[in-house]
Amino acid sequence: MKIINPSYEVLDHLDQQSLAVRIELCGRICYKSEDRIDQDSALPFVTNMAEHGHNSVLEMGVVTLEITCTDQEQITDFFLLQPRYLQIDRTANILLVTGSIRSFRELLFFHPENVVVRAVCFLLNERHPYFFQDVVPKAGWASASDTPVTVRKVALDTVDCLPPERLLKHRYIAVKFIVNRAVTHEIVRHRPCSFLQECLSGDTVVKAFSGGKKWTMEELYRIFRQKNCGLARSKIRVRTKNSDGEIVPAKILSVVRSGKKELFKVTTKNGYSIKSSADHIYFTEYGERRLKDIAVGDRLMLNGKVISREWLKTEYLEKNRQRKDIAKEIGMSDAWLGKKIREFQLQKPKKMYPGRKSGHEVPGMHSEKEKRQISKRMSGEANHQWLGSDVSERGARSRLYRQDNASLHHCDCGKKAQEMHHIDRNPANNGPSNIEYCCVKCHKARHNDGAMVVWLDEIASIEPCGVDMTYDLEVNHPAHNFAANGFFVHNSQRYCRYSEDKFGSEVSFIKPMFFSKGSPEYMLWEKAMQETEQLYLQLLETSTPQAARTVLPNSCKTELIVYANLKEWQHIFSLRTTKAAEPSMQEVMIPLQEDFQQRFPGSFP
């Protein structure tokens, strides 16, 4: 066990580093992977964050720009966009704009046609192309000379010389806190800040991947709290969205009760609704976003539109639609749809491709004669998948029976039938109406007759709905999400495994200010922390890190980066340094305020 004092660090040394280096350091502190930082790690890290829509990490870097526009209508059009996350000051036809990388990315994504937005992002893309690779306009970048807008980056030294009222808005400072969990819960309530470090109501419904079974979050919490229910818990599989947008099963690792919080009800145009806290993360058409950053009109990812084999056969073969058009309609990539077409054995005949050469005329493809020769050469014991005498007597009889009957028929694809397909999936029902004769490939396609994918629904309203108990769960899937009330949401906890070597196989706790070291109260607290650490390490032997972490108390050490402008820091200090503030909060905020007074005496008298 390690006991440390609470502390803070003003990360002003990052002001002299590039945006990529700053964002990487902040992000790796969040992901507890600081040991992976080296001379060449920044660009791959920030590129990966941008591609995967990890927007909270991209809030850790801001840029100040001076925009000159001679056309007043263009400036008016820019303000009508109601740009979020930006600080804007206007003097005649000159705008002073400060915003995070996330804010500029989202402006370009939503409003690529706006002249000011294109000019700003054109400059940023020239300097930092790795932030904009996935949001480049389809028409490409317009040259800066083609617009009446001039954009210039403002150096930090120039920002520091701004008048006091502008300095407060455009000067951002990042502070790293090492405090207990109680303090972080207070800090993250300051919504204009950016944080690197969420919950659903108890009546939120989580459906099983298949079978129609469903539970509320409260019921799942009770199930995972009960003893002697390990078998029942291990069989629960919920729906999660993989990187291709396809819905797959995932195992629940743990369910956490997060306490009472203020809830908001999100309702879509198609009638779906969910209640969650303002900090819960949803999957939108442009990446992950917290509810507090989502507005009416945004589109959220919902579970599950079924793309069946018959539907795809009708659209792709019978209607002869283009693959890219079908992919756009269902919200999936062209490559994913091509994969499903091959799995369903729905490739278009050559005659449907005008001017296409036959197989033997295309380099690298086999003619029909060559295919027959290869098939003959790889049959029987020459085939690496030959089972030989390992096939059971019962299995051999069944196989011979099916092949003998199938050999009298032909598959729909024109080939000789080799197997029997049972339409109702019951191999004991051999009635004529339940049997289809097909080749091996088509038989496999029959059993792979549908795929469930996500779809987008527009938000109709977001309304407060009071305070209630909230819950969250963790799933065992790299995508870290699950379907709740039909919405795909992020599982909201980040965990450290303290048993790993990087943490010295011990838990770190923050020394409480309430007890003097050596006093009876301090010794009692220290004993409680030792027992907690032993319980945590013991649980790790039989449970996941996420489940074991539920025993850790508020005294557990937490690292948090807060990034805000000076005006918001003024507001934080006005609330967190008074006598009414939580004592542990005062312990770090009062000396931090004094530090800010020395750095910015004109802004913090």
Instruction: For residues 548-574, give the mean pLDDT.
Output: 89
Residue environment code for 92-125, b if the CB has 16+ CB neighbours within 10 A, otherwise e: eeebbbbbbbbbbbbbbbebbebbbbbbbbbbbb
CB 242 within 8 A of CB 454: no
Cα(62)–Cα(18) distance, integer angstroms = 11
pLDDT, position 20: 92
May I ask the CATH class of domain 11-172? alpha beta
Edge to edge, the sheet with strand 86-91 lists 86-91, 94-100, 62-69, 149-153
User: 200-300+465-490 domain in CATH 2.170.16.10?
Assistant: yes
**From CA 213, how far away is CA 223, in angstroms rounded?**
14
Q: What is the DSSP string of 143-154?
A: PGGGSSEEEEEP
Q: Where in the chain is the domain with CATH 2.170.16.10?
A: 200-300+465-490
User: For the segment 475-532, what is each residue's pLDDT rounded down to a tens digit?
Assistant: 777 667 788 887 878 764 444 544 444 455 678 899 999 999 889 999 999 999 999 9
Per-residue pLDDT tens over the stretch 310-333: 778 888 888 888 888 887 776 666
3-state SS assignment for residue 254: strand
Question: Model's pTM, two decimal places?
Answer: 0.53
How would you class 381 by CB atoms within 10 Å of its CB: exposed for 0-12, middle for 13-18, buried for 19 or more? exposed
Looking at every residue in the chain, the average pLDDT score rounds to 79
Do 239 and 303 contact (CB within 8 A), yes or no? yes
The pLDDT of 385-395, averaged and rounded, is 55
Q: Among residues of the chain, what percentage have pLDDT more than 70?
A: 78
Tell me the angle at which helices 19-31 and 42-51 cross, rounded to the nearest 10 degrees: 70
Q: Answer with the residue of higher pLDDT: 434 or 200.
A: 434
Q: What is the CATH number of domain 175-197+497-599?
A: 3.30.1360.170
422 versus 163: which is more confidently predicted?
Answer: 163
Average pLDDT over residues 85-105: 89
Across the chain, which distance is largest between two alpha carbons, in Å? 94
pLDDT of residue 157: 93
Token reading at 575: 């609330």
Is the pLDDT assigned to residue 462 strictly greater than 70? yes
User: Which pLDDT score, from 0 to 100, does residue 362 have?
Assistant: 47
Residues of the chain with CATH 3.30.1360.170: 175-197+497-599
Is the model's pLDDT at 212 over the cut of 70?
no
**Phi, psi torsion values for 189, nearest 5 degrees:** -80, -10
- pLDDT tens-digit map of 3-14: 999 999 999 888
- pLDDT 10s digits, 238-280: 888 876 667 778 888 777 766 677 889 999 887 788 998 887 8
The arithmetic mean of pLDDT across residues 578-601, rounded, is 92
